[in-house]
Structure 1
């Protein structure tokens, strides 16, 4: 494993509100944003779980104040963001991962980045025992006609923010109050539902980290331990 491969620091943020997660993401994205040279940028992969929240992407005009009030009455928060995509839900039992990467250390292409992120999730699902997770013409990762992982990203000066929401043991009833990602006639699923057993976030996180290191061809360093893990060593 070459030490020239990009280094990504893994931040295990635990469970918190969406606002706290956004603040953390913004702080990390700006803290080492030395864009010249890009090699000085410190990459992060934030793993977290959110309190119940509905978020919408750039097409916020599709959602009225009444929509917001209706969803808040369910006991969830509501946020408008600068990511791509439409409305989705984040909450307990869902692994939310935000890669904060400078793509010039990888490949300077948002199209490549999104495709690589999709392959990362598909490989993680395969490791967990779901071989038929795949992409379709719609955004996200699907098992049949049900979405198992939402993807919504943002890029600025080749620095990525936002990311994925992988349903592990999520209460899927939260999705009944929206049209997830604006896609009519499709449903949502989770790792637990597909595997017919409880899949905790920690188990999904292990698979995602293994897949991320291999597919992005990078080295992972846990922030809490400072240990650099080569992709071939991630289990």
Structure 2
């Protein structure tokens, strides 16, 4: 479906607290499978936090781990998204959009730029000027990467997504080369806005997501 003939879409907003990575991963895959079988199903945006966990993209190099994955303190998962290794932990808001890109644009670069726009627009609410770095995926503020993006698309149904460092313990990033980028430090929004909370960012990122993708969000809280 071309963008010009696009209809207004309903998107379920699934807000969760701290959820084990494997549980959220299984849930995403179940949603994608359902939409591959029935493309008319509504889109979904899952917003969660995770206990400490490292994830590697399909082709990620183990050289970017500064520890033995068989003997590390936290879980390590190799998953089907693109990109290199990243770290999730409480205080980081993770967004998993399950969108049918046939209703938007069947263009992965377009989709990545849209996700970056969602984050840039969210951060603008806090008086911060976030930006892209040429030839890289993600969002930066004052030289620090505050959001990472990694996606998987199957038959134009998206999964995985973005992670925004709101107020996490950043020490876990010292165990990896985040996203394979050695020369650009990772930061958090709380470094710039001291009282910022994940709950505040949840609200703002959902609003920005609805605006950028021209969606109607409907609250739902089912994760199984």
Query: TM-score by structure 1 length?
Result: 0.85
Match of 1:232 in 2: none
The answer (yes or no) to whether the contact 1:168–1:199 under 8 Å persists in 2 is yes
Question: Aligned partners of 2:45 and 2:154: how far apart in 1?
Answer: 17
| Equivalent residue in structure 2 for 1:204, among 201, 204, 207 | 201
- CA-based RMSD of the aligned residues comes to 2.0
CA deviations over 1:168-218 (Å, ceiling 9, x no partner): 1101111111111010111111111121x1322110111101101111111
The answer (yes or no) to whether the contact 1:146–1:186 under 8 Å persists in 2 is yes
Match of 1:13 in 2: 16
* 2:68 counterpart of 1:67: yes
Point out where structure 1 has 5 or more consecutive residues left out of the alignment: 226-235
Question: Aligned partners of 1:65 and 1:180: how far apart in 2?
Answer: 11
| Equivalent residue in structure 1 for 2:138, among 114, 131, 140 | 140
Match of 1:77 in 2: 75
Output aligned runs, 1:1-235, within 5 Å: 4-35=7-38, 38=39, 40-63=40-63, 67-70=68-71, 72-73=72-73, 76-130=74-128, 132-137=129-134, 138-195=136-193, 197-224=194-221
Point out where structure 2 has 5 or more consecutive residues left out of the alignment: 1-5
Residue 61 of structure 1: how far off its partner (Å): 4.5
Query: TM-score by structure 2 length?
Result: 0.89
The answer (yes or no) to whether the contact 1:150–1:164 under 8 Å persists in 2 is yes
Please state whether the residue corresponding to 1:128 is helix, strand or coil.
Answer: coil
Higher relative contact order (CA 8 A, sep 6+): 2
Change (3 A) 1:185 1:30: same
